[in-house]
Amino acid sequence: MKPFSFEYFKPNNIDEAISLLNGYGEDAVILAGGQSLIPLMNLRLARPKYIIDINKIAELSYIKDTNGGLSIGALTRHREIEKSDIIKSKYPILSKTVSLIGNPQIRNWGTIGGSISHADPAGELPTLLLALNGKVKVVGNQGEREIDGDDLFLGYLTTSMEKTEILREVYIPEISPKMGWEFVELTKRSHDFAIVSVAVLMSIDNAGKCNDVRISLGGVGSMPVRAKGAEEFLLDKAINDDSINEAANIASEEAEPESDIHASAKYRKEMVKVFVNRGLISALDRVRG
């Protein structure tokens, strides 16, 4: 399986990259880690005529813990995120999630920008972005703009980015150390693409009632989604086995997964229940711990 021919460019900076992208339009794609793009090209499912390799653009690779949030450059490798001490201590859910991606080779080369803009609903990072209320900063000919995670994913492998825009940075608002969290997924083999994945963040007020909860689901359709009904249910409620079970039921009812050779829609719906349950219990433990 050999790829189709293409012309190759390796811009030195973002402006060059954008100018190339604009010049070649629909027929050009950005090459970052290549872990998703190149298999598609080898299978001849993707046949871009122009490849713009952004791996030389060093300024796209950074992890900055700023006031109010975490900024990660699009070219930052999963492995760098996995090993980052600042992320381990302040954003442990991201640490854990990234460690579940693929295998060592994939994590060495795959990038956060690549994973998010690839928008695979079974991918871990798109699912997590939603739970984190994260956003992306994209840059194109018209300049830079921000896209909220909620507005980013449109469908299977589709985002609201323009074809001529490059994802530059992922921004995650600060997570209170008091927040409980968990990221769990069901896979057939460890570290496979998720059949169902769940990201949970939760905090509880002094009265023991939930005052902030985010539950996002992956593998349940053409894009990751927030389980809004389940979240609404839990707000202002005491978090215990009963409320957790009920929330999991609601999340499962809301979910509209599809069937494929790995799992049927019915099974995925049931697994949403199981994993939202597990995610919430674990998050609660962390809140209490």
Chain positions contacting other proteins, by CB under 8 A: 1-8, 10, 31, 34-35, 38-39, 41-44, 51, 53, 55, 79, 102-106, 108-109, 186, 188-193, 261, 263-264, 267, 270-271, 274
Shortest reach from residue 35's CB to other proteins, in Å: 6
Shortest reach from residue 259's CB to other proteins, in Å: 10
Shortest reach from residue 45's CB to other proteins, in Å: 10
Query: Looking at beta carbons only, is 9 or 91 nearer to other proteins?
Result: 9
Shortest reach from residue 193's CB to other proteins, in Å: 8
Query: Looking at beta carbons only, is 5 or 66 nearer to other proteins?
Result: 5
Nearest to 25 by CA among 48, 2, 1: 48
Query: Looking at beta carbons only, is 168 or 269 nearer to other proteins?
Result: 269
CA atoms of 287 and 57, how far apart (whole Å): 40
Query: Looking at beta carbons only, is 178 or 188 nearer to other proteins?
Result: 188
